């Protein structure tokens, strides 16, 4: 089998309320990989809030896609190494990592289709039913928006909900957490996300105001670039730290593990150089008894969580319109059943490209 062509494009997708209060749109950088045997692989990376999507698409189209045309798509490891090592002067983070991720995801889609297996089974399944946590609670939400969103996820059976703690006053953040906890009751556990907004002193101060609330985790308390700072926070607070959505390679995650910077690692398959590197990260974490809870794109992340014995939760942000994909996995009783369709099982709906394509 040979790759005969790769088409890439950007989709601009408006978000529903209340997410639109914070992010009016997201963008997908899509890669469609064609082969001479009729199999097509779909890969995409989610540019949250739309940032950088066009740059990702240009890098994918001009630098990485030409490396794959004419090659056997089943040699995923070899092709991943070729892409990862090609531009030695450009670190495989940010734009480059998003672009590589989309192509790696598309290659694995072809492998699964060729084998007639869903990816989580191809990789050695640990589970076919993955628990999810509802995620949102952005700072532009009113208290009514926040509680309404949390209750909606709880109505789907989610027993976990994550909200943002972005207010400069740590007491205000505590009040919002307490309001959600009171609304949801004891049956739903909460996690909080600082999204890198704090320094070490501020992160420790905030955590100490929340430590009695039995939170599952305290996410991205400081800049993701500063692993030493994250480790200092983790040593100083009683809430387990989670991080990783803005880390890109197994080498960064190795340092997070070795420094004891987190008990939950959160690689994003669209940022962490695709399925290939995310699986390496997950297995590295398993060697250290660290849990993996992939970041967003749950429809893809399910396969990673289902293949790993140390997979924990997938992040469920319910934002995709019904005319974007043929069939999104459904959250039932707080869990997702991983689709048994070959590959990753996702396909753009008829007309989605025409409706949402940029340019």
Q: Which of 162, 164, 303, 344 is catalytic?
A: 164
Q: Which residues of 7-38 are buried (b: 16+ CB within 10 A; e: fewer)?
A: ebbbbbbebeebbeebbebbbbbbbbbbbeee
Active site residue 121: no
Q: Give the angle subtended at the CA of 315 by the CAs of 309 and 321, to the nearest 5°.
A: 130
Residue 189 to residue 163: CA distance in whole angstroms = 11
Distances (CA, A) of 223 to 196, 226, 289: 5, 6, 24
Q: Which residue of the set 113, 162, 197, 295 is catalytic? A: 295
Contacts of 139 (CB under 8 A, 6+ apart): 22, 164, 166, 167
Residue the block writes with tokens 């480790």: 231
Beta-bridge partners for 46: 28
Q: Is 298 a catalytic residue?
A: no
Give the integer Cα–Cα distance in Å for 317 and 336: 13
Which residue blocks in the chain are alpha helix, DSSP H?
Answer: 53-59, 65-68, 76-86, 94-115, 119-122, 143-155, 170-184, 200-208, 227-236, 250-258, 274-286, 298-307, 352-356
Using an 8 Å Cβ cutoff, are 252 and 272 in contact? no
Q: Which residues are catalytic, by number?
A: 164, 295
């Amino acid at each position: 089998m040979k790759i005969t062509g790769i088409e890439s494009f950007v989709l601009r997708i408006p978000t529903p309320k209340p997410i639109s209060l914070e992010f009016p749109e997201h963008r997908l950088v899509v890669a469609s990989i064609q082969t001479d045997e009729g199999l097509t692989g779909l890969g995409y990376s989610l540019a949250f809030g739309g940032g950088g999507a066009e740059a990702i698409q240009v890098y994918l189209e001009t630098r990485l896609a030409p490396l794959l045309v004419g090659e056997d798509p089943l040699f995923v490891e070899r092709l991943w190494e070729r892409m990862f090592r090609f531009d030695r002067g450009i670190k495989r983070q940010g734009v480059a990592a998003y672009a590589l991720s989309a192509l790696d995801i598309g290659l694995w889609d072809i492998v699964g289709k060729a084998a007639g297996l869903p990816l989580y089974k191809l990789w050695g399944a640990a589970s076919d039913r993955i628990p999810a946590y509802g995620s949102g609670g952005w700072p532009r939400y009113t208290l009514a928006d926040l509680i309404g969103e949390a209750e909606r996820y709880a109505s789907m059976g989610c027993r976990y909900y994550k909200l943002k703690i972005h207010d400069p006053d740590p007491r205000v953040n505590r009040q919002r957490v307490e309001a959600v906890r009171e609304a949801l009751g004891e049956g739903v556990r909460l996690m909080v996300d600082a999204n890198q907004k704090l320094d070490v002193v501020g992160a420790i101060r905030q955590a100490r105001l929340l430590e009695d609330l039995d939170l599952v985790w305290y996410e991205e308390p400081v800049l993701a670039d500063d692993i030493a700072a994250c480790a200092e926070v983790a040593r100083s607070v009683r809430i387990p730290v989670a991080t990783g959505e803005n880390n890109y390679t197994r080498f960064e995650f190795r340092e997070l593990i070795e420094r004891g910077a987190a008990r939950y690692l959160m690689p994003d398959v669209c940022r962490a150089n695709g399925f290939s590197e995310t699986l390496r990260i997950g297995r590295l974490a398993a060697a250290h008894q660290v849990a993996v809870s992939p970041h967003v794109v749950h429809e893809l992340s399910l396969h990673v969580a289902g293949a790993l014995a140390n997979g924990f939760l997938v992040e469920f942000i319910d934002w995709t319109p019904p005319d974007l994909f043929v069939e999104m996995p459904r959250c039932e009783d707080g869990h997702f059943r991983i689709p048994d369709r070959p590959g990753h099982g996702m396909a753009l709906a008829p007309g989605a490209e025409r409706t949402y394509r940029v340019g």
